[in-house]
Amino acid sequence: MTATISGPVLILGATSDIGWAIAQHYAQAGRPLLLAARNPERLEADAADLRIRWGADVRVADFDVLDVGGHSAFLDGLEELPATVVCVVGLLGSQPDAERDFTAARRVIDSNLTGPASILGEVANRMEARGSGTIIGISSVAGDRGRASNYIYGAAKAGFTAFLSGLRNRLAKRGVHVVTVKPGFVRTRMTEGMSLPARLTAEPNEVARAILAAEARGRDIVYVRPVWWVIMLVIRSLPEKIFKRTKL
- Looking at CATH, the fold of the domain delimited by 9-243 is given as Rossmann fold (3.40.50)
Residue 90, CB-side half-sphere exposure with 13 Å CA sphere: 30
158: CB partners within 8 A, 6+ apart: 142, 143, 144, 146
Domain boundaries, the chain: 9-243
Indicate if the pLDDT at residue 244 is higher than 70.
Answer: yes
Coil/strand/helix, residue 17: helix
198 against 57, higher pLDDT = 57
pLDDT in tens, 167-186: 999 999 999 999 999 998 88
Q: How confident is the model at residue 2 (pLDDT cuts 50, 70, 90)?
A: low
Q: Report which residue type is found at 54.
A: W
Of 130, 93, 133, 90, nearest to 113 by C-alpha is 90
Query: For this structure, is 153 an active site residue?
Result: yes
pLDDT for the residue numbered 163: 98
Amino acid at 22: I
Residue 50, Cβ neighbours under 10 Å: how many? Answer: 22
Confidence band (pLDDT; 50, 70, 90) for 236? very high
What lies within 8 Å, CB to CB, of 241 at 6+ separation is none
**pLDDT at site 189:** 72
Radius of gyration for the alpha carbons in the chain, expressed in angstroms and rounded: 18
pLDDT digits (tens, 9 = 90+) for 3-60: 667 799 999 999 999 999 999 999 999 999 999 999 889 999 999 999 999 999 999 9
Per-residue model confidence as pLDDT tens digits over 125-178: 999 999 999 999 999 999 999 999 999 999 999 999 999 999 999 999 999 999
Check if the beta carbon of residue 27 is closer than 8 Å to that of residue 33. Answer: yes
Instruction: For residue range 61-75, list pLDDT tens digits in order.
Output: 999 999 999 999 999
Catalytic residue among 26, 151, 153, 223: 153
Average of pLDDT values for 105-132?
98
Residue 198 has pLDDT above 90, yes or no: no
